[in-house]
Structure 1
Amino acid sequence: MKTLTGAEIVIECLKEQGVDTVFGYPGGAILNIYDALYKHKDEITHILTSHEQGASHAADGYARATGKVGVCMATSGPGATNLVTGIATANLDSIPMVAITCNVTTGLLGKDSFQEIDILGVTMPITKYNFIVKDVTKLADVIRRAFVIAKSGRPGPVLVDITKDVTAAACEYEPKEPQPIERETELIREEDMEKAIEMIKAARKPFIFVGGGAVASDAANELSAFAHKIQAPVGDSLMGKGAFDGTDVLYTGMIGMHGTKTSNLGVAECDLLIVVGARFSDRVVGDPNHFATNAKILHIDIDPAEINKNIQTDASIIGDVKIILRKLNARLDPMNHDEWLSHIERLKDMYPLRYNKEVLTGPYIMEEIYKVTGGDAIICTDVGQHQMWAAQYYKYKRPRQLLTSGGLGTMGYGLGAAIGAKMGCKDKTVINIAGDGCFRMNMNEIATATRYNIPVIEVVFNNHVLGMVRQWQTLFYGKRYSQTELYDQMDFVKVAEGMGAKAYRITKKEDVEPVLREAISLNIPVMIECQIGSDDKVFPMVPAGKPIEEAFDEIDLRIE
């Protein structure tokens, strides 16, 4: 046992938890921690982002790509509030993250002191748990508890706010081994298992809907075995991408607003919908009164609060998805649903994803990225049309390949997340797909990538508009393009080069492949601007609040 300052205890606790990388931005209140971090820079790498929001997204991306807890740091006041969007993003997508902030000294709390903010109050609705530490003797236990909470059960972000005097105070510190995280099984009831097995055996047209919970529980192997054992087609949510191999013959594509017609019709026509780690988001469900109306619904999820929250189910099993699937696999015999699978295959043939192959488009670029990377890259995205194209046209073969803001829909998420992902997975090609609107929100993080020579590739789909909002304005608002046109003097290539990156501009299809190959081979930060049409749209599409089987595409619009 030794005596350490609070700042030194923070660093020792991070080392205890196996933290090798943190993302942050210093300031007055957190100076003691940064001073202690300086003394341990050979053990913990600190990435100074261009903005605290970039730090929170980087910690999030690190967590999504590795499955470990991501860590970010910021000072008091505006430093802490700049983390808020990133914390909220992680919260809605159930990402394990610990955000460490420092506040004014204990005696100045509640006095509107310089750079004081009640960050505990601000973040209470958007964290799994949060703490303020005013006693140095409690600091180590709080940090250890924060990591346990962040990664246990349904993961999520935890904030630890520490007053500056606590970081300077000293107390005895005793190292401890990290608490092991046990998979949650106590709510898996035998009667629930029996009912589920009975429903699965009775089904003639089962369909599996996979969400992010299957990724969080590392259940890919069990899910694949389950789908093939019961011979059921599989669709996924945006957050579930990669939990089931996108090249598998049973895979039907994404479900929901921009899902495939095959998946949406599969949900509408099935007699049993098996939902694995998904929360029935409104973007998946559409009209909740007309969702899977021909089916019984079996919901498997770790969080009891999700059962019957958005959609009424017929049965549920609560617990860790990996364990539940493993138990089901052990008790089910192989099944045959050839007639149902043949019908699904006919739907795939009738309703393939389509786009204009004559010109440079987002779908074409995504297919080229898939080809050049062999389907092995980590793909990050911002939010909008490019996000949907990345979900539709890149085949994700394994979990943790697609990092994207699903619940909050955070523009500006992707580049920070890509930096975090690359720091966590240095052997993988990491590509962020952005729109020009999103790039304006996070382009400053190019400077972070070049500062540390983090070789991420930023691909900007520049259509000179806020594409997804414009798509809605075109289809539903009489082409009244209010504040969605971005025709201005911005030169993305010069901006990226000014921050030290290699930059390219692509205007025709034949340049995509050679530029991508060169960008990957350079192994430095690269920005690739791809100029595409302002009126390109994401199809299929379900109007908000409509049944998902009413998905339409350009051919349907022409018929009308």
Structure 2
Amino acid sequence: PVRTFETVSKYGEVIVQADQVANVMRRAFHNLRNGRPGPVIIEIPSDVGGHEVPEEALNYHPPKRSPQSPAPGDIKDAVKLLLNANKPVIWSGMGVLMSKASEELKELAELTEIPVYSTMPGKSSFDDRHPLALGAGSSATSLPARTWLQESDVLFAVGSSMTQTSYGQPIPSGKVIIHNTESIEDLNKDFSVDVGIPGDAKLTLQALIEEVKAQIGESGRKDQTKVAAEIARLKETWLADWSQILKSGETPINTYRVIGELERNLDKVNSIVTHDAGAPRDTIMPFYTATVPHSYIGWGKTTHLGYGIPLMIGAKLADPDKFCLNFMGDGAFGMSGLDIETSVREGAPITTIVLNNGGMATYPGGYPVANELFGTTRMTGDYAKLAEGMGAVGITVTQPGEIANALKQAQKLNAEGKTVLLDIHTNLEARRSNFA
């Protein structure tokens, strides 16, 4: 099994003798807590698993995390480039969340008046309500984000692998790139980097803040630019084009109306929301407002359809006081829908929204042969009844005006310990905020 999981784990080892337990687990937790985040695999053969562990082998001291500090010279070079740029942008990745560096990111952005774009895994690392927030993106994003990513001359990526992917926003050539990552293998991988800063995101941001203050003073550039006003103008223009869709009264219900109701009816600070792969990811990513760290979980580069349900079960177990909701299609539900029973059985009440549109919304129009041969737009199911059969509460929504009450009911039922599935009859919405 260790070799089987080599491509999806960062470290693996086999315990072949009982007296190896302490040494193996020390190495395992060291690798788990340091470097690039990722799973560690420890294999215990069945014959070894039944052996007694010698008492002397239990003299175990758990290893601590040892974050790497950035080199001072790299910090000076990075700050000089950022302060001399005409239109810089910060690209915030998941490493900001993992190193608990959102406050430092906010301080740097405010000190320099540099706007922040959040990657899909980095969504919620920077409060989307902040005047310097450009928003987040998958292959779809906001107009402010698209504009700054296209027009910026200097891009500072923090806590990001900067892996090129069709599930993220493109970075045009010709930019000066400053790249911070915990994994040195990511530097110069997909982009030529002008200043590479291997190290912990939090320590890097702290060093940058001190260097900015050293170069231009304690107050930095606060309130000295028109960046926030330009972001607000672009956001207003963008939302004006989408406002009618987000409030649409059509039936079947427009997918974006569901997203609009989530915006209006969730306590964002006390909720954890995720999308599923495919159409749900690209429809919700630009429009849902993430607030505090980990209030949104972004994923989907290589992960399978249906991951949203088990992901939210895990989130609920980790933070039981939060309202945990996943936003998925009926195709995704077909992959992992039976895990609703796991949520019920384990006492981890979550809410699942199933966009019941009878098909895979990514495909209409573009895959006529697949539609004809494999019925990708001819799926059926009463998902509310399926949920009830597994011990959850199923609520069917067929009219736009019913969504808000269903969401309020779901929050109340979750608080009472009941898992909820909202079976919302939606359209096969093909529009995306991708500026194609």
> Quick check: TM above 0.5?
yes
1:343 deviates by 3.6
Summarize deviations over 1:12-35 as a string: whole Å, max 9, x none: xxxxxxxxxxxxxxxxxxxxxxxx
Return the match for 1:347 from 231, 234, 258: 234
Query: What's the secondary structure of 1:481's corresponding residue?
Result: helix
The aligned residue for residue 103 of structure 1 is none
Equivalent runs, 1:15-414 vs 2, <5 Å: 119-173=1-55, 174-185=58-69, 188-255=70-137, 257-280=139-162, 281-283=164-166, 291-293=171-173, 295-333=175-213, 334-335=220-221, 338-352=225-239, 354=242, 356=245, 357-359=248-250, 360-376=253-269, 377-414=271-308
1:479 deviates by 8.5
Q: In the superposition, relative to structure 1, how do residues 419 and 214 fare at CA in structure 2: closer, same or farther (>3 Å)? A: same
Q: In the superposition, relative to structure 1, how do residues 257 and 387 fare at CA in structure 2: closer, same or farther (>3 Å)? A: closer
Cα distance in 2, alignment partners of residues 531 and 330 from structure 1? 53
Gaps of 5+ in 1: 1-118, 542-550, 553-560
Please report the TM-score for the alignment, with normalisation by the length of structure 1.
Answer: 0.70
Query: What's the secondary structure of 2:363's corresponding residue?
Result: helix
Cα distance in 2, alignment partners of residues 418 and 481 from structure 1? 31
Does residue 1:453 correspond to 2:335, yes or no?
no
Does residue 1:537 correspond to 2:430, yes or no?
yes
423-432 vs 380-389, which deviates more? 380-389
The aligned residue for residue 487 of structure 1 is 378
Amino acid at match of 1:362: T
The sequence identity of aligned pairs, in percent, is: 25
Equivalent pair of 1:271/1:296 in contact (CA under 8 Å)? yes
Cα distance in 2, alignment partners of residues 285 and 297 from structure 1? 17
Please report the TM-score for the alignment, with normalisation by the length of structure 2.
Answer: 0.89
Equivalent runs, 1:548-559 vs 2, <5 Å: 551-552=435-436
Cα distance in 1, alignment partners of residues 22 and 401 from structure 2? 57
Equivalent pair of 1:300/1:317 in contact (CA under 8 Å)? yes
Summarize deviations over 1:246-280 as a string: whole Å, max 9, x none: 11111112245212232122111112111112223
Equivalent pair of 1:213/1:276 in contact (CA under 8 Å)? yes
Cα distance in 1, alignment partners of residues 87 and 331 from structure 2? 43
Q: In the superposition, relative to structure 1, how do residues 485 and 367 fare at CA in structure 2: closer, same or farther (>3 Å)? A: same
Does residue 1:515 correspond to 2:401, yes or no?
no
Does residue 1:501 correspond to 2:392, yes or no?
yes
Summarize deviations over 1:412-450 as a string: whole Å, max 9, x none: 211111111111111111111111000011111111112
1:284 deviates by 6.1
Equivalent pair of 1:269/1:294 in contact (CA under 8 Å)? no
Cα distance in 1, alignment partners of residues 120 and 99 from structure 2? 16
Equivalent pair of 1:266/1:344 in contact (CA under 8 Å)? no
Equivalent pair of 2:16/2:44 in contact (CA under 8 Å)? yes
Q: In the superposition, relative to structure 1, how do residues 192 and 464 fare at CA in structure 2: closer, same or farther (>3 Å)? A: same
1:371 deviates by 2.6
Equivalent pair of 1:276/1:300 in contact (CA under 8 Å)? yes
Cα distance in 2, alignment partners of residues 268 and 489 from structure 1? 41
1:215 deviates by 1.2
Cα distance in 2, alignment partners of residues 273 and 489 from structure 1? 46
Equivalent pair of 2:76/2:211 in contact (CA under 8 Å)? no
The aligned residue for residue 107 of structure 1 is none
Cα distance in 2, alignment partners of residues 250 and 200 from structure 1? 16
Cα distance in 2, alignment partners of residues 138 and 507 from structure 1? 59
The aligned residue for residue 462 of structure 1 is 356
Q: In the superposition, relative to structure 1, how do residues 456 and 230 fare at CA in structure 2: closer, same or farther (>3 Å)? A: same
1:364 deviates by 2.1
Query: What's the secondary structure of 1:393's corresponding residue?
Result: coil
Summarize deviations over 1:176-220 as a string: whole Å, max 9, x none: 3422212122xx222211111110121121111111111111110
What is the total number of aligned residue pairs between the two structures?
Answer: 415
The aligned residue for residue 419 of structure 2 is 525
Q: In the superposition, relative to structure 1, how do residues 259 and 362 fare at CA in structure 2: closer, same or farther (>3 Å)? A: same
Equivalent pair of 1:229/1:335 in contact (CA under 8 Å)? yes
1:285 deviates by 6.2
Cα distance in 1, alignment partners of residues 263 and 230 from structure 2? 28
Amino acid at match of 2:221: M
Equivalent pair of 1:304/1:318 in contact (CA under 8 Å)? yes
Amino acid at match of 1:346: R
362-371 vs 157-166, which deviates more? 362-371
1:162 deviates by 0.7
Equivalent pair of 1:380/1:415 in contact (CA under 8 Å)? no
Summarize deviations over 1:89-109 as a string: whole Å, max 9, x none: xxxxxxxxxxxxxxxxxxxxx
Equivalent pair of 2:91/2:118 in contact (CA under 8 Å)? yes
Equivalent pair of 1:469/1:484 in contact (CA under 8 Å)? no
Q: In the superposition, relative to structure 1, how do residues 235 and 284 fare at CA in structure 2: closer, same or farther (>3 Å)? A: farther
